[in-house]
Amino acid sequence: AEGPAEESREESLLSQPPAAETPPPQVVNQEVPVVVESADSERLIQVEQSLVALWEQVEAAGQRLEQRHNEVLRLYTDLK
């Protein structure tokens, strides 16, 4: 069974910040073939363009929804 000394040691270990001298992460291979890098860049450009197009569709749909809401609200207030 754990005694008070054991619990105290665990608490002090948990309350201490991590050591500042952690070794840097190991880098296996930093050299990337130019072909792969170029393909990745092209894919990134395509994804960014798709994201922009999608966002424009979302904004347009939001504007249409707001217009419909305003129209329904106007019709509702006219009925009152």
What is the residue whose two structure tokens read 């450009």?
45
Distance of CA 52 to the CA centre of its chain: 17
Residue 74 lies in a domain: yes
Q: What is the dihedral of CA 45, 49, 50, 56, to 10 degrees?
A: 160
Q: Say if 6 falls within a structural domain.
A: no
Rounded to two decimals, the pTM is 0.49
With DSSP H G I counted as helix, E B as strand and the rest as coil, what are the percentages for the chain, rounded to 5? 70, 0, 30
- pLDDT, residue 39, reads 87
Q: Is residue 73 part of a domain?
A: yes
pLDDT value for 65: 98
Q: Is residue 71 part of a domain?
A: yes
Domain for residue 61, yes or no?
A: yes
Q: Which domain holds residue 56?
A: 51-80
Angle (CA) 52-56-57 rounded to 5° is 120
Q: Tokens 């890098």 sit at which residue?
A: 37
Question: Domain total for the chain?
Answer: 1
Q: Can you give the pLDDT of all 80 residues of the chain as single tens digits?
A: 555 555 555 555 555 555 556 656 666 666 656 777 888 999 999 999 999 999 999 999 999 999 999 999 999 999 98
